[in-house]
Amino acid sequence: MKFKTFAWFVGPSLLMMLLFILAPLISVFWQSFNLTQPVMQTQMVETCTPGFITQICVTEEKTIPVLDDEGNMVTTTTFVGFDVYRELLQPEKAWQKITAGDWRGLLLIDFWGALRFTLTFTFITLPLVIGLGLGLAVAVNSLVKSLRGSVIFITLLPFIITPVIGALSIKWLFIGDGILTAALEWWLDKDIAMFAEAWTIEFLMLFYRVWHAAPFAFVVFYAGLQTINSDSLESAVIDGASRLQQLWYIVIPHLMPLIVFVSLIHLMDAYRVFEEIVGFSSQSHVISLQWLTYEFLVPDQAGNRSVSRASASAMLTMIGIIFLLIYPLRKTWKQYYGGNS
């Protein structure tokens, strides 16, 4: 294909991505090295507010931003190098904790705690999702044909329903005296509060993610199973391969590209875990990297946002995902040239 034709085909899609993904990304990169601050002045201000009975007026010193003639805030932008990253990573403090072997102390620094959770979340759910998806695909494939349609339908439900609603629907079963908590209490005969401790919340979040993501793995693998060449299986049967051997030597290698594909998608999605934190309100116990970014961005009640720290945290998140993707990407690279040559 000529370059010009190629450009015509790819152009619109590329334009959208450049405009709405690359452009914000560049601005985020720039902001992580620069600090934009309003210029402040201190002056006496008299404020009158309603008391319950009489008005209360106080005059006090307030720090307020300087405005220019058009009523906009005057701001200064300074290049601060890696200062913002240092603020976020707190390398001295972290190093001190590491050398002292105080891991709990290290994880109390927001960024490291978030990184810990994000990584454990990603790597615990990954094998569970792949395994459950594969198991389901093989199991459903062995059902009688008439049942398969309904089973696939039910299986897909956790994947298609709105994530926020899915998380809430699981939360409702457990929060306070939700029916499942009540059932557990009755069974174990003790008072249980699922949302009072870190490990129970983490468990619920892992459960939710596997519940939500496994159907996607399932449907992809199931589709892959339909393309398996029955000749190779039959020759394996003739060679006397056991079922496990068939699975190991024929089915899994056949599905390998799909397993890589699903892992890739899952790594990316699990690494930006966010909905679970909001849905299960876990921020008092565990936070994730994307949640950290989000929290820096949300203005507090006085309207202050930490844009620079949010940008730095976003850049670090991105560097992390690139590290995670290197291995599967190398596989794709080989497959890409293997597939086209």
Partner 1 sequence: MQAKTIKNLALASALTLASSGAFAACSFNNDVQLKSLSSGFDAWKAVTGAMAECGNFTPTLDNDFKEKQPDAFAAKPALYQIGGVNNATLVPLLNADTVRALDDLVAKYGSHLQPSQLIKIDGKIMAVAMMVNNQHLMYRHDILADLGIAEPKTYQDVLAAAAKIKAAGVVDYPLGGTYMTGWNLGEEFVNMHLGFGGSLIGSGNQPAIDNAQGIATLEMMKSLTAYMDPEFLVSDSTYVQKQFQSGKIAMANLWASRAAAMNNAEESQVVGMVKMASAPVISETGIPASTLWWDGIVIASNISDAEAEAAFKVVMEGLDTEMVKANNDKAVWLISGYQPSAAAEGAIATAMNGAKPYAAGGPEGIMHGVLGSGLADYLTGKKDAATTLADIEAAYTSKAKEAGYL
Partner 2 sequence: MSLPTYRQLPLSMKLFAYGFVAIWCLIAAFPILWVAVISFKLPIDSFDHNPLVVLLGPNTVAAGKGISVFDLVMFIGLVWALFRVLKSKFMIWGRHSGFAAFPLLGWASVSLGFMLLIVVTLFMVLPGISAFVNPNLGFLGQGIIGFTLEHYEAIWVEREFYRNFINSMVVTFGVVTISLTIGTLAGYGLARSGTKLAFWLLVVALVFRALPHSVLVAGYMPVFINSAEILAPIFGDAAPTFYGQPLAVIAVLVAINQPFTIWMLRSFFQNIPVELDESARVDGCNHIQAFRHVIMPVMWPGVITTGLFSFLLAYNDFLVTSLLLDMQNQTMVPAIANFFNMETTSTDQVQAVAAAVSIIAPLFVLVMVFQRQIVSGLTAVAVKG
- Which residues are at the interface with partner 1 (CB under 8 A)? 35, 37-40, 45-57, 62-65, 67, 71, 73, 87, 104, 108, 175-176, 193-196, 198, 281, 283-285, 295, 298-304, 306, 308-309
Burial of 25 (0-12, 13-18, 19+ CB in 10 A): middle
Q: What is the DSSP string of 47-104?
A: EEEE-SSSEEEEEEEEEEE-B-TTSPBPEEEEE-TTHHHHHHH-HHHHHHHHHTT-HH
Residues in 213-232 that interact with partner 2 by CB under 8 A: 215, 219-220, 222-224, 226-227, 230
Smallest separation (angstroms) from partner 1 to the CB of 19: 21
Smallest separation (angstroms) from partner 1 to the CB of 60: 9
**Cβ atoms within 10 Å of 134's Cβ, excluding its own:** 24
**Cβ atoms within 10 Å of 34's Cβ, excluding its own:** 16
Task: For residue 20, state whether it binds partner 2 (rule: CB under 8 A).
Answer: yes
Burial of 187 (0-12, 13-18, 19+ CB in 10 A): exposed
Smallest separation (angstroms) from partner 1 to the CB of 230: 51
Residues in 124-163 that interact with partner 2 by CB under 8 A: 132, 135-136, 138-140, 142-143, 149, 151-158, 160-163
Nearer to partner 1, 266 or 285 (CB): 285
Residues in 23-42 that interact with partner 2 by CB under 8 A: 23-25, 27-28
Q: Which does residue 258 bind out of partner 1, partner 2, none, counting CB within 5 to 8 angstroms by kind?
A: partner 2
Structural contact between residues 271 and 293, judged by C-beta atoms closer than 8 angstroms: no
Smallest separation (angstroms) from partner 2 to the CB of 336: 6
Structural contact between residues 258 and 220, judged by C-beta atoms closer than 8 angstroms: yes
Rounded Cα gap, residues 311 and 67, in angstroms: 26
Task: For residue 63, state whether it binds partner 2 (rule: CB under 8 A).
Answer: no
Smallest separation (angstroms) from partner 2 to the CB of 100: 32
Rg over alpha carbons for the chain, rounded to the nearest Å, is 27
Nearer to partner 1, 196 or 223 (CB): 196
Residues in 283-322 that interact with partner 2 by CB under 8 A: 289-290, 293-294, 297, 307, 310-311, 314, 317-318, 321-322
Query: Applying CB under 8 A, which of residues 119, 173, 184, 206 lies at the interface with partner 2?
Result: 173
Q: Which two tokens stand for residue 290?
A: 């994307």
Structural contact between residues 32 and 82, judged by C-beta atoms closer than 8 angstroms: no
Task: For residue 192, state whether it binds partner 2 (rule: CB under 8 A).
Answer: no
Task: For residue 271, state whether it binds partner 2 (rule: CB under 8 A).
Answer: yes
Smallest separation (angstroms) from partner 2 to the CB of 49: 23
Q: Which does residue 142 bind out of partner 1, partner 2, none, counting CB within 5 to 8 angstroms by kind?
A: partner 2
193-212 b/e (C-beta count within 10 Å ≥ 16 → b): ebbeeeebbbebbbebbbbb
The single-letter code of the amino acid at 179 is I
Task: For residue 56, state whether it binds partner 2 (rule: CB under 8 A).
Answer: no
